[in-house]
Structure 1
Amino acid sequence: MKASQIILIVVGIVVVTAVGYMFTAGETPEDYIEKIEKERERQYKFIRFNIDSPLTEEQKAKFASLTFYDIDPSYKVKARLLPIENKKVREVPLTDGSMQRYIEHSYAEFELGGKTNKLLLLQAMDEADKRNFFLAFADETSAKETYGGGRYLNVRQDGKNSITLDFNLAYNPYCAYNPDYACPIPPKENLLDIAIAAGEKNYKE
């Protein structure tokens, strides 16, 4: 094989590897951490200053920070999307005893905590973008290090048969800050028997 052919092969491998990296990695670990930190800062500013914050004015005056687990990329998982063929409307109970209607759309199946887990993805009745889902879950940290009523994720389908669940972005419902709010309770399908030591911890005044 000529030297010029070898060079072309090497260049080709480098190009393929680079393109593969663009579509699989997409960002460096530093970029990822910075993205999560920016989202947490945005969340803090909303809770602290926004007129729609669940905090009362008295709470805002004393509010210093939100508490999170350390950012851990292992809690960003690629899940298999398992569609529900006969989609039904689910009446999800809220913390005040009322109900809110969602569509049972699909399940997200993923590996974490040394086992296969499956979570029900719900979709708001008036959701315009059919790739967006609401995920309410509770886990072994609930009522200990995290809010007892569970935590939420807003997730978006990013593949034909897959979806990314980033538990570093798990956040508390409004009722974790103020019991006057009514919040969806995680469905029984979403009570995990593993600890999700990622995302937001319990709010303490």
Structure 2
Amino acid sequence: MNKKYLLLALVGAVVLGSLMYTFTGTTDPELYIENIAAERERQFKFLKFNIDSPLEEEQKKALDSLDFFPIDPSFKVRGRLVPVPRKRMVEIPMSDGTLERYIRHSFVEFEFNGETIKLLLLQAEDEVDLRNFFLAFADGTSTEETYGGGRYINLRQDGSSSITIDFNLAYNPYCAYNPDFACPIPPRENILDIPIRAGEKNYEK
């Protein structure tokens, strides 16, 4: 292959890679799927074998898999960070009736299926890395297909005023597996009417 065609091939590969990133959030869709699958396997192994797992011993013995929606790159979205006018510490209700303190930090806005969505990002009171955020949300699948108390995603700011949300990484709180655990309830800003069919489904004993 001469230099001219090699250069054209390289340019074409770069353009194709850019388009893949634009539409899927990754330069390699197969690698993206492998990474999500690996994270799901890590989650399963933690619940099954780790001493800090919320599962009781009988649950661990019975657990042979977790239930997830199919991996769908369209549920990986880029959002714009909108600072809360006045950041303040708030008390978030827990599933056991207690309260836990979080910083009401920012909103993230993004387009999904032609609709503008705005979600509240919280930050743990003792968080040392100010780029890390906590997203608790419920949606149109809650109770029927996913845990009724909502699901979580751990986020990390990856731009000066932007952040990536991958709903394929949405996971159940500990209280979905064991009611003895207390879990933050999603704030009212994060109760969505639309279904988010991505991430972890209901846990069934």
Task: Give 1:98's aligned residue.
Answer: 98
Shift in alpha-carbon separation, 1:82–1:24, aligned structure 2, 3 A: farther
- Distance in 2 of aligned mates of 1:124 and 1:27: 32
DSSP 3-state at the match of 1:64: coil
Task: Give 1:36's aligned residue.
Answer: 36
Contact 1:79 1:108 in 2 (8 A): yes
- Aligned ranges 1:109-120 → 2 under 5 Å: 109-120=109-120
- Distance in 2 of aligned mates of 1:12 and 1:131: 39
Which letter does structure 1 place at the counterpart of 2:86? Answer: N
| 1:170-200 deviation per Cα after TM superposition (whole angstroms, max 9, x unaligned) | 0000000000000000000000111000000
Which letter does structure 2 place at the counterpart of 1:159? Answer: G
- Distance in 1 of aligned mates of 2:13 and 2:79: 24
Task: Give 1:47's aligned residue.
Answer: 47
Report the CA distance between 1:27 and its aligned residue. 2.9
Contact 1:71 1:198 in 2 (8 A): yes
Which letter does structure 2 place at the counterpart of 1:18? Answer: V
Kindly indicate whether residue 77 of structure 2 is the aligned counterpart of residue 57 of structure 1: no
- Aligned ranges 1:47-196 → 2 under 5 Å: 47-196=47-196
Report the CA distance between 1:85 and its aligned residue. 2.9
Structure 2: 5+ residue runs without aligned partners?
none
Shift in alpha-carbon separation, 1:93–1:119, aligned structure 2, 3 A: same
TM-score, length of structure 1 as denominator length: 0.90
Report the CA distance between 1:18 and its aligned residue. 2.9
Aligned-pair identity (%): 62
Shift in alpha-carbon separation, 1:20–1:33, aligned structure 2, 3 A: closer
Report the CA distance between 1:20 and its aligned residue. 9.5
TM-score, length of structure 2 as denominator length: 0.90
- Distance in 1 of aligned mates of 2:82 and 2:12: 31
Which letter does structure 2 place at the counterpart of 1:113? Answer: N
Bigger Rg over Cα:
1
- Distance in 2 of aligned mates of 1:113 and 1:203: 27
Shift in alpha-carbon separation, 1:186–1:62, aligned structure 2, 3 A: same
Report the CA distance between 1:64 and its aligned residue. 1.2
- Distance in 1 of aligned mates of 2:8 and 2:94: 56
- Distance in 2 of aligned mates of 1:154 and 1:115: 23
Report the CA distance between 1:152 and its aligned residue. 0.1
Contact 2:20 2:29 in 1 (8 A): no
